[in-house]
Amino acid sequence: MSGLFRAPLRRLLSAWTDVRLAEPDSAELHLDPSLPTIYVLPRPALSDALLLENYTRRRPMPSSLGRLIVGQTSVARCVTLPARRSRWWPGRPQPVAPFTELIAAGENVQIVPVSVFWGRAPGKEFGFWHLLAADNWQLTGRVRRALSVMVNGRDVEIQFGAPLHLSDIHDGRDPALTNRKVARLLRVHFRRVTTRVLGPDLSHRRTLIEGVVRSSEVREVIDELQTTPGERSRGNRQRLQRRARRYGNEIASNMTYPVLRFLAGALRRLWNRLYDGVDVTGLERVKQLAGHSTLVYVPCHRSHIDYLLLSYVLYRDGLMPPHIAAGRNLDMPIVGPLLRRGGAFFLRRSFRDNRLYGAVFNEYLHRLLAGGYSMEYFIEGGRSRSGRMLPPRPGMLSMTLRSFLRIQQQHARPVVFVPVYIGYEKILENASYQREMGGGRKRKETPLGLLKVIGRLRDEFGRVSVNIGEPLDIADFLDNHSPAWRESSDSRPDWLKGAVAELGTSICQRINAVAALNAVNLVGLALLATPHRALEYSMLKGQLELLCSLVSHTPSEPGPSLPEGDAEGWIAQVLALGMVERREQALGDIITADESQAALLGWYRNNVLHLLALPALVAFSFRSQDAHSVDELTELLSPLWPMLARELAVPVGPDLHRQLSQIVERLVSQQLLTEHAGKYQPCGNLEARERLRLLGRMIQPSLERNTLLVDTLLASPSGTLGRDELCQRARSLAERLALLSGRAAPEFFDLRLFESLVDSLVADGWVCEEEQYLVFDHNLRHAAHNAMQLLDASLQRRLAAVTGPQEKE
């Protein structure tokens, strides 16, 4: 074979196949050029060996062709890991890995494991043709492998493992024992790579639903409903089982490989048409976990595109796409079946009053996690119309924690949350978001509405960023929050509610920590800080550079990503997207935004405002008083920062004094502040003062909104206002303030922001709830007095003009 057919077959395979993905790159393998290299395949397959030969010949890496002479030992450059003894032939001797002679001779060789995937089908019957042709968990015969090469020749992936050095593994023991150890390490590696790329074997949808309906948890609810009076529980056991089965069919996904492959190709063309590029950072953290952990992806939710974008990125980069929790509103004709076959499972907005539906959904979610399937859901509950991170909803997080407690009783794989930030330079839903924030009614999604989107494919949408945050292992989180959680046998322990709230906060903070600065949100931050949404071109360039410099010193790891290029290129990009206008003037060009453009820029600014909130707060504190020491800044801002930090989903930090010291030093290095006798004050340069003022104005709307809420609460005696009444009253006053101050952004008086602020006051101990009324003491008045001192006289008068009539009432 090697003499007569191998070379022609290799050339034929080279012409027919195309390696879609090979990772890591040859340079990232860090192969030692002084050591002999042996490649190891997980199973005998001539097609895999020939493909590897072609690949190594075209790359700056050791060839896998021929034999290798090491000392007195000759071994093939490409070997296969022997299969385990067949249970059908117990008398046949166990095959051994071919490294014994090298180990006995004391030779040092680097062993590189190589996994080749012809197609990406998980183990499931997708139809006769794809059952034969698609790669999966099962070993393949010669005919099936030939069909796989024919069908999937243009969709091949090669996964290289880190090289193993025999000298590091051999400890002087029997060479046969070391040989078995090497084989065991390689088998574990190949199993993890297969799990990462293909995911676990998929159960047939009908089998999975039937298992959910027959589970003890669902049967227990059916038994209780039979004896409970009420409209939903009427009927015999068979009728309730049919209803549970109907719920299962409504919920369950039906992930199929042909649809995954179709979507991968269609989405690749879609992204190339819509965006100038998709920038991905931090995915290596996911790949390190995917082989041995169950992953729960928790992205921020800004657009319907989020569903498709993350799955596409994962599939493109060699990871199995997750099962995605989607709202039932997307289960529409044409679109719903396609999403379902792409991995989406559907849930209702609320099922608190439907115990049977809740039991079926909980059991389905549990079986996905217990089976090791990766999953994705949005903890915000819905898309953010304001552009900022919404408070986390407890529903899916609570169900995940309860399922994890059940899984741990079986010593299953670890479950890890993967925070994901998705940032756009321009989204498809711009117009609808502005209409809804202005009080318009949310329109129901329909196939016709999606067809209208197709007509916008010729528009410019810039770039999109997908940043992976720091993963959060559930077991490690519970060890810190509730150390005795392993001893709990209750499905709803007392500590669960508090753990869910803290878990949601931590995930939101990890998402925001890896936000992506881009051209649009940078221009939005700078331009909207001006009174009339206009700024000189040269001043705008300098301000963009200042903002990037401040964010680049963010101490968190992983941290935010910065845009490529320079300020001139960023402004040009925003102009090309139609988000601002450039007006030529004899004394210098001016960048402006009209009212509609400003409303859009506000959405993108809110994506990343949290990255600069504390520097902006420091800059704003110099608005009403020229000089501050770091101690004075700490005393002034310590009552305000926790509430702002919670609103913007960023950690408060253990040492505010140290944080403020670092920020002040950065402002000094930017020549915006000067130090004299232990106090800091704005530079005398007029341009520097203007930059500092623009930086501080970014946080002004949030400060005004928070102060207005607290003043509204203090205007009534303690214990006389309820949460809902306070939020409604504050919202009305904020709308009035927006008219007086000329703000056109509806998000300034978004009711959900005030609800979140009240949560912050309660969580931080400023307010407590007694019999549905809010109770406070003199500490809140003292904090409000400090906040008012931060505002200059004009802002104080404006707030007084708004809240004054309310106080008289």
Asked if 509 and 559 touch (Cβ cutoff 8 Å), the reply is: no
Burial of residue 318 (CB within 10 Å: 0-12, 13-18, 19+) is buried
In one letter, which amino acid is 275? Y
- 3-state SS of 767-798 is CEEECCEEECCHHHHHHHHHHHHHCCHHHHHH
* CA 103/CA 244 separation, integer angstroms: 60
In which residue ranges of the chain is pLDDT below 50?
1, 91-93, 123-133, 137-139, 231, 806-809
In one letter, which amino acid is 341? R
* CA 486/CA 408 separation, integer angstroms: 8
Predicted TM-score (pTM) of this structure:
0.87
* CA 337/CA 340 separation, integer angstroms: 5
Asked if 471 and 355 touch (Cβ cutoff 8 Å), the reply is: no
Asked if 737 and 802 touch (Cβ cutoff 8 Å), the reply is: yes
Rounded to 5 degrees, φ, ψ at 568 are -60, -40
Q: No. of H helices and E strands in the chain? A: 34, 23
Residues in Cβ contact with 671 at an 8 Å cutoff, skipping those fewer than 6 apart: 683, 685, 688
Strands 37-41 and 67-70: unpaired
Sign of CA dihedral 364, 365, 370, 375: positive
**What are the tokens at 197?**
């790329």
**What are the tokens at 279?**
């920038």
Residue 575 CB coordination number (10 Å) = 15
* CA 124/CA 131 separation, integer angstroms: 8
Residues in Cβ contact with 90 at an 8 Å cutoff, skipping those fewer than 6 apart: none
* CA 579/CA 577 separation, integer angstroms: 6
* CA 589/CA 540 separation, integer angstroms: 11
**What are the tokens at 635?**
């005393």
**CATH architecture for the domain at 206-416+478-497:** 3-Layer(aba) Sandwich (3.40)
Q: Closest Cα to residue 483, out of 472, 492, 493, 470?
A: 493
Per-domain boundaries in the chain:
6-198, 206-416+478-497, 519-697, 700-808
**What are the tokens at 486?**
């392993």
Helical segments of 409-552, H only: 430-437, 447-454, 474-481, 496-513, 519-527, 537-552
* CA 217/CA 316 separation, integer angstroms: 38
In one letter, which amino acid is 690? E
* CA 467/CA 560 separation, integer angstroms: 8
CA 786 from centroid of its chain's CA atoms: 37
* CA 796/CA 529 separation, integer angstroms: 19
**Could you give the C-alpha distances from 333 to 329, 342, 382, 448, in angstroms and in order?**
11, 15, 21, 10
pLDDT for residue 132: 47
The H-or-E segment that residue 319 falls in is: none
Complete DSSP assignment for 124-138: S---HHHHHHS--SS
- 3-state SS of 345-376 is EEECCCCCCCHHHHHHHHHHHHHHHHCCCCEE
Rounded to 5 degrees, φ, ψ at 126 are -100, 15
* CA 411/CA 392 separation, integer angstroms: 29
DSSP state of 655: -
pLDDT for residue 130: 45
What does the longest C-alpha to C-alpha distance in the chain come to? 100
Q: Closest Cα to residue 620, out of 791, 796, 800?
A: 791
Asked if 78 and 6 touch (Cβ cutoff 8 Å), the reply is: no
Rounded to 5 degrees, φ, ψ at 632 are -65, -40
* CA 771/CA 433 separation, integer angstroms: 37
